[in-house]
Chains A and B, each alone.
Chain A
Amino acid sequence: MGDELAGGSSMNRREPRRAMLRGALAIGVGLPLLDLCARAIPEASAQGDPKSQRPQNGDRFVFRTGNQTGKVITVADIPVGGPPVPAFPMDPSGVVRDGSRLNQLLLVRLTLTDLSEETRGRSAEGVVAYSGVCTHTGCDITLWKAESIRFRCPCHESEFDPKDAGRVVGGPAPRRLPRVPVKVVDGVPVAAAGFLGRPGFQPT
C-alpha cells in the first residue's frame, strides 16, 4: 500500500522512513473549520487524575516510545517533513498525561510554506501536534505517507492532512484529526491550548 508503518514498538531510528505513530499526538479540530474552543472534554477524563486529563495550555510533550521515552521533545528532535514523533503531553509539574490513550499525540515538523494559513496559525516553527487516535472508530494512527505528507490509519485506511488542519483526505473517517495548538518556548514545543475538537470516535 506504499505506507510507512509507524509500527508499534518497531520504531527504529535507523529506518528513518518508518515512523511509529503509536503514540500519537494530536489535537483535534471539531467539525467546523474554526471550532477553536477546546471542547468540553467528557467528564470522566477531565476530572481527577492529571495523568488522564487532556492536554492543556502550558503542557510540554515527551517521547512516547523508543529509548527516549519520557524525555521532553525539543523542536530539534522532530525531523523536518516527518515522520511524526509519538508523544504524550506533560503538565508543567512534570506529570506525563499517559493515563488515557486519547492523549496520544503525533508531533510533526513541516515546511512553513506547506502549511495552510489556518494551520500555520496553530503551529510554531513548523511544528504541529495532532491526535494519534483516528476519528473513524478510534484506532491508533500508526502509518505515515512520506510522499504525500499524510497520516494514515491502519484499521480502515483513513488519511488525514497535517498541513491543513488534519483534514480528511481519504477513507471513512467522518471528521478531521483534532489538533493541539503549539507555541515554542526556548526551543521546546508547548501546548498553547487544549484539543481543538474531540479526539477519537464520536458516537452518532
Chain B
Amino acid sequence: MAPAPRAKPTAGATAYTPVTDQRLVNPEPENWLMYRRTYDGWGYSPLEQVTPGNAASLVPVWTFSTGVAEGHQSPPIVNNGIMFVSTPQNQVLALDAKSGELLWRYKRDLPEDLFQLHPTNRGVGLYEDRVYLATLDAHVVALDAKTGKVVWDQTVEDYKKGYYMTLAPLVAKGKVIVGVSGGELGIRGFIQALDAKTGGTAWKTYTVPAPGEPGSDTWKGDTWKTGGVSVWITGSYDPALNITYWGTGNAAQWIGDQRPGDNLYSASVLGLDVDTGKLRGYHQYHWNDSWDWDEVSAPILIDVKRGDRTVKALVHPARNGYLWVLERRADGIGFVDAKPYVNQTAFKSVDPRTGRPEYDETKKPVTGKKVGFCPSLWGGKDWVPAAYSPKTNLLYIPANENLCGSLVGTQQKYEPGKLWLGSEIKDIGLDVRNGAGHIGEIQAWDMNTRTKVWTRTFESHNWGPVLATGGGLVFAGGTNDRYFRAFDAKTGELVWQWRTNSGITAVPSSYSVDGVQYIAVQSGWGVDAQRMQDSLDTARGTKTDVPQGGVIWVFAVKQ
C-alpha cells in the first residue's frame, strides 16, 4: 500500500466534514455520500439548477486522467466539496470537487499472482472521517479521508480461492457491509459487516445455507460448498425496518441440472437485519438458475400504488428480463407482480400468488446440448443501476433489447481459484434478433400503472448507469460511441450530449459547491461492455475500437 502522496491541502481538505448516520439517512442536497446517493437506491440528486432548458450549455469544468485502463464504474462521491473516486486496480483519488486539484491518491499494491476477471471497482463508502474500499484481493481498507493513509486493512477472504470484491461498501449504523464476488470460480458467497472503527467482523451471513440451515434442502450433496451466489453490488437499506436488501448472483457452476434444486438463495433478494445479519426475508426471482442471470442489483425502495393501496415496494428490473415489484415488510418480502420489460423466452408464466416462474424447459440450458434463450446471459439489464425520480415518478431502466444467447453445458471439475463455468467459453453464444434495428435502450416506467412511458433507443448496446436529477434530467452514457447524454426526464428527449475520451460505464453523480451544480462521471470502457462488444463484433463480422483509459469529467452550465 503506497503511502499517499499529498498535494498541498486546500481549505476544504483540512475542514473535512465527518459523515454521520444522520447525514447518510438524510444527505444535504449538495452531496453524494454513497453509491446511489441515498439508501433507497434511487440514484437521484434533488439539485435543480441544470434543467432541460439550459442543459445545452453544459461544458466540462475540469477533467482528471486516472492513469488506469479498463472498466471505470464508480461514482464520484462528494462530501462538502471533497470528491472521492475509485478506479480499476484499487486506486482511490481524493480531489477538490470544484477545482479538480488532487488532494491525495491511494494505490493498492495488489498481489502479483492475483487475477482480475472483472478489473473494476464500483466506489467507496464514507463514514465519520474515513473512506472505505473493498479490494480485488478481498480485503476492506479504511483510509483517513484527509490524508489517504491506511487506518486499518482487514482480510475478508482468501483471494487465492477465487474470492474478490468490486462493490462499493454500504455503510450503515457504524458498520461497513460488503459482499464477495467469485461465483464463476465456485466460491460460497456471503455478506459481511465489519466494524467501521476497528475492521472487526460484526456479522457474516452466507448466501448458501449449510446443511441443516433453512433452505439447505434446496441443494443436493456437497453442491452447496461451491454454490456460488456471489454478492457484488451495494445493497439498499430501509432504516425504518432496519433491514438492508441485497441482490445475489447465480448459483455455481452455471448449469442447473448439475446442482438440482431451487438453490436458495441464488438469484434472489435477501433482507438482512443491519444489527445482526439475520435473514429477515427473501424472494428468489428465479430458481435453479441456468442462464448466468445474476440478480445482484439491489432493489430500489419506492412506494407504488396498487388499487387503493400504497405498497412499500422493492422494485427490480432483473437480469432475467422481468420487472419485479415486491413488498418489504418487517416480517418478510411479499410478491406483488412482475412483467417482462425486454423480449424474454425462458419463462412461460409467473405464478400470480408466489411469483415463482414456470419455465419453458426447451429454453433452459442443460448439460450436453446447445440451448438458446432470450435475453442473453447479460440479461435485460446487468449490474448497471436504474434510477428513480420522485418528481416524474418514473423509473429509468438502462436495458439491452433484441439480444439472445445460448449455452452448452459441460461437466467441469472444480479446482479452487480456477474458472468453473459449466460451459466452455467458446460455447457462450450471443445473437442479435433478426431485423433488430437497435440494442441499447433507456426505458421510463410508471410503476403505479405498470406502463412504459417512453423509450430511447441506441444502435449500440447500453451499459450506462443512470442519474436522475431534480432539474428534470436523466443522465447516462453506456454506448460505444463515447457519448455522455442528458435527456428530458419527462419525455426522453435528448437535450445534450458530449463526446468523451472513452465509453462510459460508470455511475454518474451530481453535487454542488458554492451554489454551482456539477454533473460528474468517469469515462473508461472495459469489462463486460467490452466483452459484449467483442461478441457482437464476432457475430456481425465487424470490428469496433472503443479506446480505453479513465478520465473523470465534471460538467456545469456555462455562465
Residues on A facing B (Cβ under 8 Å):
1-5, 7-10, 22, 42, 44-45, 100-102, 133-134, 136-140, 142-143, 154-157, 171-172, 174, 198, 200-201, 203-204
Closest to B136 in A: A137
Closest to A10 in B: B412
Q: Which of B112-120, B358-366, B380-388 binds A?
A: B112-120
Q: A1 to chain B: which residues have CB within 8 Å?
A: 425-426, 428, 535, 538
Question: Contact between B538 and A133 (Cβ–Cβ < 8 Å)?
Answer: no
Could you say which of A2, A9, A139 contacts B413, with CB atoms under 8 Å apart? A9
Closest to A200 in B: B112
Closest to B525 in A: A172
CA distance A157 to B119 in the complex (A): 14
CA distance A203 to B109 in the complex (A): 8
> If A1-B538, A45-B112, A138-B113 touch, does A8 touch B419 (CB 8 Å cutoff)?
yes
Q: B428 to chain A: which residues have CB within 8 Å?
A: 1
Question: Contact between B412 and A9 (Cβ–Cβ < 8 Å)?
Answer: yes
The reply to whether the CB of B70 lies closer than 8 angstroms to some CB of chain A is: yes
Q: How far is the CB of A126 from chain B (nearest CB, A)?
A: 26
Besides A172-B530, A203-B107, 8 new A-B residue pairs in contact (Cβ under 8 A), listed by A number: A4-B426, A5-B424, A8-B420, A42-B112, A44-B112, A137-B117, A139-B116, A143-B426
Q: A140 to chain B: which residues have CB within 8 Å?
A: 115, 418-419
Closest to B535 in A: A1
Q: How far is the CB of B524 from chain A (nearest CB, A)?
A: 12
CA distance A60 to B116 in the complex (A): 30
CA distance A174 to B549 in the complex (A): 12
The reply to whether the CB of B89 lies closer than 8 angstroms to some CB of chain A is: yes
> If A45-B112, A140-B115, A201-B115 touch, does A174 touch B425 (CB 8 Å cutoff)?
no
The reply to whether the CB of B410 lies closer than 8 angstroms to some CB of chain A is: yes
Q: A154 to chain B: which residues have CB within 8 Å?
A: 419, 425
Interface class of chain A by DSSP: loop
Question: Would you give the 0/1 interface string for B395-428, flagging 1 where the beta carbon is closer than 8 Å to chain A?
Answer: 0000000000000001111010111100011101
Residues on B facing A (Cβ under 8 Å):
67-70, 89, 107, 109-110, 112-117, 119, 410-413, 415, 417-420, 424-426, 428, 526-527, 530-531, 534-535, 538, 548
CA distance A136 to B419 in the complex (A): 16
Closest to A18 in B: B424
Q: B534 to chain A: which residues have CB within 8 Å?
A: 156-157, 171
Question: Contact between B113 and A137 (Cβ–Cβ < 8 Å)?
Answer: no
Q: How far is the CB of B258 from chain A (nearest CB, A)?
A: 14
Could you say which of A3, A156, A198, A203 contacts B89, with CB atoms under 8 Å apart? A203
CA distance A171 to B545 in the complex (A): 10
Closest to B110 in A: A203
CA distance A133 to B115 in the complex (A): 9
CA distance A22 to B420 in the complex (A): 12
Question: Contact between A156 and B548 (Cβ–Cβ < 8 Å)?
Answer: no
Task: Please list the 5 inter-chain residue pairs (A to B) with the smallest Cβ-Cβ separation, ordered nearest first.
Answer: A138-B115, A9-B413, A137-B116, A5-B424, A154-B425
Q: A156 to chain B: which residues have CB within 8 Å?
A: 526-527, 530-531, 534
Closest to A41 in B: B112
Q: B114 to chain A: which residues have CB within 8 Å?
A: 138, 200-201
CA distance A4 to B425 in the complex (A): 9
Q: A201 to chain B: which residues have CB within 8 Å?
A: 112, 114-116
Question: Contact between A8 and B425 (Cβ–Cβ < 8 Å)?
Answer: no
Question: Contact between B67 and A204 (Cβ–Cβ < 8 Å)?
Answer: yes
Question: Contact between A22 and B418 (Cβ–Cβ < 8 Å)?
Answer: yes
Question: Contact between A10 and B116 (Cβ–Cβ < 8 Å)?
Answer: no
> If A172-B530, A204-B89 touch, does A7 touch B115 (CB 8 Å cutoff)?
no
Question: Contact between B426 and A10 (Cβ–Cβ < 8 Å)?
Answer: no
Question: Contact between B113 and A2 (Cβ–Cβ < 8 Å)?
Answer: no
CA distance A45 to B428 in the complex (A): 36
Could you say which of B115, B116, B413 contacts A8, with CB atoms under 8 Å apart? B413
